[in-house]
């Protein structure tokens, strides 16, 4: 039995573009390519894609995933390991749910809150491995210290600014604006300034590389889903242009 690339993308909650990229970098080859050029995937490919997506959820980059898949040729054993990790995450989320329920109950009843109850199950370091592998331990430490230094209102405002920037990019893309236009470059400047909070300095290579992640990383594929197809590439191009014009190595 086999499935088309569109069927697989829809079932996996990803995009055909992402699957083609996985094929281009050697992570997920189609089981066959039809005479019409369409890609088809068999059961073995489905299992491999499941492993790729699980590893992405754990924060691994594509090069690291390739190494894992090469070293773990026994799919059943690898999936058992993934299952253990997922069950651990399930337990953590269950603790978060109970924590929020307890907080709500105590707030409504006027009871005293306990810090260990309020924060049970919350892991503020879940991106440590990914940040450290990409940009080093110092980058994670600085970012973590910066985040912890902010008030709840400041954190909310920082997160909202990210959403507003994404929406602005999406609107500019839909309107037909060019990535190198003054309007789009002004939005890109907002993104650059937004990044300066946790990292303090942003080099040309860092900024352009982050732009490429909007295309390569399936988590950033949400920009296409929220704001229209092509938004991820649009943001990448705008960031590359901004980096060349304004940033140094």
Q: What is the DSSP letter of 28?
A: -
Q: Where are the domains positioned within the chain?
A: 1-72, 74-123, 128-249
Query: In whole angstroms, what is the distance from residue 139 CA to residue 132 CA?
Result: 7
In tens, the pLDDT along 155-177 reads 788 878 887 888 888 888 888 89
Reference 48, options 61, 60, 64, 30; nearest CA is 30
Shared fold status for 1-72 and 128-249:
no
Backbone angles phi, psi at 150, to 5 degrees: -90, 155
Provide the token pair at 200.
């303090």
Q: What is the pLDDT of residue 59?
A: 59
DSSP string, 118-138: HTTT--TTTTHHHHHHHH-HH
Reference 68, options 45, 80, 51; nearest CA is 51
Give the global pTM: 0.46
Q: What is the DSSP letter of 32?
A: E
Q: What is the pLDDT of residue 224?
A: 47
- CATH fold for domain 1-72: Multidrug-efflux Transporter Regulator; Chain: A; Domain 2 (1.10.1660)
In tens, the pLDDT along 34-76 reads 988 889 999 889 888 988 887 776 656 777 778 777 766 566 6
Q: What is the pLDDT of residue 142?
A: 63
User: Hey, CA dihedral for 208, 166, 195, 141, is it positive or negative?
Assistant: negative
Number of other CB atoms surrounding residue 175 within 10 Å:
9
Query: In whole angstroms, what is the distance from residue 95 CA to residue 162 CA?
Result: 28
Provide the token pair at 183.
């309007």
Of 136-140, 172-176, 235-239, least confident by mean pLDDT is 136-140
Provide the token pair at 17.
């573009």
Q: What is the pLDDT of residue 200?
A: 64
Query: Is the CB of residue 24 less than 8 Å from the CB of residue 33?
Result: no
CATH top class, domain 128-249? mainly alpha
């Amino acid at each position: 039995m086999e499935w088309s690339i569109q069927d697989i993308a829809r079932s996996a909650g990803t995009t055909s573009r992402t699957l083609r990229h996985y094929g281009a970098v050697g992570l997920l080859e189609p089981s066959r390519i039809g005479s019409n050029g369409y890609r088809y995937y068999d059961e073995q490919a489905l299992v491999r894609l499941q492993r790729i997506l699980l590893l992405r959820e754990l924060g691994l980059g594509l090069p690291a995933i390739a190494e894992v898949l090469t070293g773990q040729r026994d799919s059943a054993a690898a999936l058992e390991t993934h299952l253990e990790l997922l069950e651990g995450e399930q337990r953590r989320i269950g603790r978060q749910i109970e924590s929020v329920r307890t907080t709500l109950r105590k707030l409504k009843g006027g009871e005293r809150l306990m810090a260990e109850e309020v924060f049970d199950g919350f892991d503020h370091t879940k991106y440590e491995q990914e940040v450290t592998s990409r940009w080093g331990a110092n980058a994670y430490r600085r970012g973590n210290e910066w985040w912890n230094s902010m008030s709840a209102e400041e954190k909310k405002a920082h997160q909202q600014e990210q959403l507003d920037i994404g929406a602005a990019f999406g609107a500019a893309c839909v309107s037909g604006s060019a990535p190198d236009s003054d309007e789009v470059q002004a939005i890109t400047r907002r993104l650059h300034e937004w990044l300066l909070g946790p990292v303090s300095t942003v080099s040309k290579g860092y900024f352009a590389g982050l732009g490429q992640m909007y295309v390569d990383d399936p988590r950033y594929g949400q920009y296409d889903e929220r704001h229209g197809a092509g938004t991820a590439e649009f943001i990448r191009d705008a960031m590359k242009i901004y980096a060349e014009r304004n940033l140094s190595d």
